[in-house]
Amino acid sequence: MKYNLELLKADVQDELAKIEKLAGDFRSIENKLDLSEDVLPYYDCAAIGYYLHSFYNGCENIFRSVARFFENDLGADSWHSDLLKRMKLSIPGYRPAVIDEELYRLLNDFRAFRHIFRHSYSFELDWEKERLVAKKLQAATKMFRRQIGRFLTALEDIEKK
């Protein structure tokens, strides 16, 4: 189990580094969040949307690695929402929760936005809704980093047993 656990931790750390880079890059365009829809070019709206999409993809990549490691089966129809929901669950004797309820709700906003982003044209995006999610990116990244760190520490404790 030690080898597999080390591989899981390496996968998680790799994705976390990418999320950190993305959040750092996002800082350079955060000033656009103060612009109104009539001033903001739709390609900037699309670029911001892509950052939000990529952020949640990174989170979901970590969640899928955790689910695969702990052999959590996911249904085909609603696996995106099922995966996120399972990450807030603690399974005694098996694995700790990956995220708490507060972060679950926050990430669910990103998941929902990503779904809309994937299935819409960029000029159809609702800037006010997108802006609300985008303003949460830095806080979500900080919470995510902290809670993933806590989860990795808990895995080390499991490994010692």
Confidence (pLDDT) at 80: 83
Q: How many Å apart are CA 55 and CA 131, to the nearest integer?
A: 15
Q: How many Å apart are CA 159 and CA 150, to the nearest integer?
A: 14
14-45 pLDDT tens trace:
999 999 999 999 999 999 999 998 998 888 99
Total domains, the chain:
1
Q: What is the pTM of this model?
A: 0.91
Look up the domain containing 122 and give its range: 2-160
66-104 pLDDT tens trace:
998 887 666 666 688 889 999 999 988 888 999 999 999
Instruction: For residue 88, give Cα distances in angstroms to 75, 136, 161.
Output: 17, 19, 23
Q: How many Å apart are CA 41 and CA 49, to the nearest integer?
A: 13
CATH number, domain at 75?
A: 1.20.120.580
